[in-house]
Amino acid sequence: MTTSRSTTSPGADGPGGSDASSNELLRALTDDVRALVQQELRNAQTELTGKARVAAKGAAMLGGAAVFGALAAGTSAAVLTRMLEKVLPPTMAAAFATALYGGAAGMLAGAGVEELRRALPLVPEQAVDGLRADARAATTGATSTTPTPGTGTAGAGAG
């Protein structure tokens, strides 16, 4: 008699059959949710990688701006200064070289800041929107299949 109990799983056939189908549905739902979350994480990773590339470009431009800013502060480009001294007085030549490097630094800094603004915020927006839509669809599907109290034909004329 114990052998018949061990070969028959609870809920397989008989009065508990709905438990087995509920378990299968729950397992399928869990697998679907897991696959959905994994896909959304892959989407988020792809989106963040793209934003990081744009941010890296902006950071590189800001690094270039820092280099040119250092050149403008020090005005150590003696070659340009000496060439300008042939046309202008020494003080004017140094001022012109400083303004030239400073202008290049300002242009690169502006372009770098613009690239960083384009990359921010570092949130995977498309993946978050996808998760929100999935959650909305799941809750809408769950509420539409479950009858709500008070929505029968008796309450249709009230109101």
Helix (H) or strand (E) holding 26, with range, is helix 17-74
For the stretch 32-42, pLDDT in tens is 888 988 898 88
For the stretch 90-122, pLDDT in tens is 999 889 888 988 899 899 999 999 988 888 777
Taking residues 20-38, what's their average pLDDT? Answer: 86
Rounded CA-CA distance 43/126 in Å is 8
In this structure, what are the phi and psi dihedrals at residue 55, rounded to the nearest 5 degrees? -65, -35
Which residue segment(s) compose the domain that 82 sits in? 36-121
Taking residues 62-67, what's their average pLDDT? Answer: 91
Which has the minimum average pLDDT: 1-5, 43-47, 55-59, 143-147?
1-5
Cβ atoms of 58 and 45 within 8 Å: the answer is no
Percent of the chain with pLDDT over 70: 75
- Confidence at 145, pLDDT banded by 50, 70, 90: low
Task: With respect to residue 84, please indicate whether it lies within any of the assigned structural domains.
Answer: yes
For the stretch 76-85, pLDDT in tens is 677 788 888 9
Rounded CA-CA distance 95/13 in Å is 94
Rounded CA-CA distance 71/104 in Å is 10
Task: With respect to residue 135, please indicate whether it lies within any of the assigned structural domains.
Answer: no
Task: With respect to residue 54, please indicate whether it lies within any of the assigned structural domains.
Answer: yes
Give yes or no for residue 2 having a pLDDT over 70: no
Rounded CA-CA distance 98/88 in Å is 14
Task: With respect to residue 153, please indicate whether it lies within any of the assigned structural domains.
Answer: no
By C-alpha distance, which of 159, 71, 128 is closest to 80?
Answer: 71
Task: With respect to residue 26, please indicate whether it lies within any of the assigned structural domains.
Answer: no
